């Protein structure tokens, strides 16, 4: 099964803290870590590195 946006969390908790640093964007922090984590899990299971997204048309058999 290919991971889709609907597989990502329904909500993300964000803590806003006071800082003297210049303001910056917050982005979609929870989404950004999903694809690398999935690619690393595939590498751990199969020994094959995924270098392109979306993940499709890969031979993911072990070895």
Per-residue pLDDT tens over the stretch 38-57? 899 999 999 999 988 888 87
8-25 tens-digit pLDDT: 778 878 788 888 988 877
Q: Which residue has the tokens 């946006």?
A: 5
Query: From CA 9, how far away is CA 30, in angstroms rounded?
Result: 8
Residue 43, pLDDT score: 92
What local confidence, expressed as pLDDT, does residue 26 receive?
Answer: 65
Between CA 57 and CA 63, with CA 62 as vertex, the angle to 5 degrees is 105
* pLDDT over threshold 90, residue 63: no
pTM here is 0.48
């Amino acid at each position: 099964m290919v991971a889709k946006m609907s597989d990502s969390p329904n909500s993300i908790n964000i803590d806003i803290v006071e800082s003297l640093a210049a303001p910056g964007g917050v982005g979609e922090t929870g989404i950004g870590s999903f694809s690398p984590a999935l690619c690393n899990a595939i590498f751990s299971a199969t020994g094959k590195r995924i270098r392109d997204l979306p993940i499709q048309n890969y031979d993911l058999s072990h070895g």
